[in-house]
Amino acid sequence: MENIIKDMDKIKEKAKLLKAISHPIRLCVVKGLMDKEGYNVSKMQSCLEIPQSTLSQHLTKLKDLGIIEGERNGVEINYYVKNEEVKKIINTVFEDEE
C-alpha cells in the first residue's frame, strides 16, 4: 500500500486518461483515428452525426491531455492519436473485435 501512495501522482494521471477516453464520443473519436488517421473535423462530424461545437469540445479535451494532436493541412486540421499508452488501452479494449 505504501508504494501506491508514493505513486499517487502517476495514478491520478492514468485516471485522467481513462476518464477522458471513457466518454462514448471521445472513445469513438480515438478509436476512429486509430483505424484511419488524419480525419478532419468535418469528416468526424458527419460520421458521428453530432454538432460541430460538441465535437470541438471533445477534441479540445483530448488535445489538452495530449491524447491527440492536430496537423494543419492548408485550411483544415487533420487529427492523429499521439499517446502510445492510450493506443495500447484502446487496442486492449477492442482486441476481440479484430
Closest CA to 29 of 52, 72, 59: 59
Q: What is the pLDDT of residues 41-84, one digit of tens each?
A: 988 988 899 999 999 999 999 999 999 999 998 999 999 999 99
C-alpha cell at 26: 471521445
Phi, psi of 74 (to 5 degrees): 70, -120
Q: Are 52 and 41 in contact (CB under 8 A)?
A: yes
Q: What is the pLDDT of residues 13-44, one digit of tens each?
A: 999 999 999 999 999 999 999 998 888 898 89
pLDDT at residue 98, as a whole number: 57
Closest CA to 14 of 78, 67, 61: 67
Q: In the CATH scheme, what is the code of domain 2-97?
A: 1.10.10.10
Q: Long-range contact list for 59-62, CB < 8 A, 24+ apart?
A: 59/29, 61/20, 61/26, 62/20, 62/26, 62/29, 62/30
